[in-house]
Amino acid sequence: MHRSVTPMLLALALLGAGSASAAPQDIKLPAENVKLKPAKLPGYGIAMQKCAICHSADYVAYQPPGLSLTQWTAEMKKMQRAYGAPIDDGEVEQLGAYLAVAYGSAKIKDPEIVAIAQKAGKPAPAAPAGASAPTAAVDVQGLLAKNACLSCHSVTQKVVGPAYHEVATRYKGDAQAQAKLEASIRGGSSGKWGSVPMPPFAGLKADEVKALAAYVRQQ
């Protein structure tokens, strides 16, 4: 007894045959073209350095327009506490001020904005007369954690960016290795290790950049 092939069964058979013979497709994501709006505020540098670790500047466009300083600051607190963004309370405040001016309802000359920006520029307390301040060793592990370096790198395995051991191997024997790595940490880089760019860490002190570069070379 012969059974007739229904149109539905025939369609499923043809679909399965097409799936089996289809070659895998390479998906290439579009280049990141959206940039953060520049502003002469400390929070702009923090945003350039730390926000790009987790998401593109497109995130800002998804927020309601005209958010206030209070609202943007609350958004940064959410990033810090709910999503583990590597920003401290002072940076939360500076980011809120920057975003409120660049994308929200605040003005750069608003008294609240000026007061927040001035906090970032306060110098450290001066050492007593006749006393020399001791030079503290740079806490490399603390810097790696604070700046979320290990979100994109590990010592031995590629994550988003290359493993530190891989970087050390590439630059082994290069007399300019220290200078090149310091430049990449301070100014960011793209195209050296794939399509994902590394954000700049311009807010780091010179001795911190030097210590991080030396740490990577030792791996």
CATH number of the domain within which 88 lies: 1.10.760.10
Q: Is 8 known as a binding-site position?
A: no
CA distances from 183 to 62, 154, 164, 201 (A): 33, 20, 16, 10
| Chain length of the chain | 219
Q: Residue 151 gets which letter from DSSP?
A: G
Could you tell me which residues are beta bridge partners of residue 158? 153
Burial of 106 (0-12, 13-18, 19+ CB in 10 A): buried
Q: For residue 6, what is the DSSP state?
A: P
Q: Is residue 186 part of a domain?
A: yes
Q: Give the pLDDT confidence of 40-98 residue by residue, as tens digits.
A: 999 998 888 888 777 777 788 788 889 999 999 999 999 988 888 888 999 999 999 99
Q: What pLDDT, in 10s, does the model give residues 171-217?
A: 998 999 999 999 999 888 888 888 778 888 878 889 999 999 999 99
Residue 35 lies in a domain: no
Q: Tokens 């497109």 sit at which residue?
A: 58
User: By C-alpha distance, which of 167, 183, 180, 174 is closest to 218?
Assistant: 167
Query: In the structure, what pLDDT confidence band is assigned to residue 25 with cuts at 50, 70 and 90?
Result: low
Contact 160, 197 (CB under 8 A): no
149 is in an annotated binding site: yes
Does the pTM surpass 0.75? The reply is: no
153: Cα separation from own chain's centroid: 12
In the predicted structure, residue 136 carries a pLDDT above the cut 80: no
Its domain, for residue 192, covers 140-217
The annotation status of 79 as a binding-site residue, yes or no, is: no
Q: Is residue 33 part of a domain?
A: no
* Shared-domain flag, residues 115 and 145: no
CA separation for the pair 102, 96 (Å, rounded): 10
* Ordered DSSP codes for 20-51: HHPPPPP--PPP----PPP-SSHHHHHHHHHG
Domain count, the chain: 2
Q: Indicate whether 49 belongs to any domain.
A: yes
Fill in the DSSP letter of residue 204. Answer: S
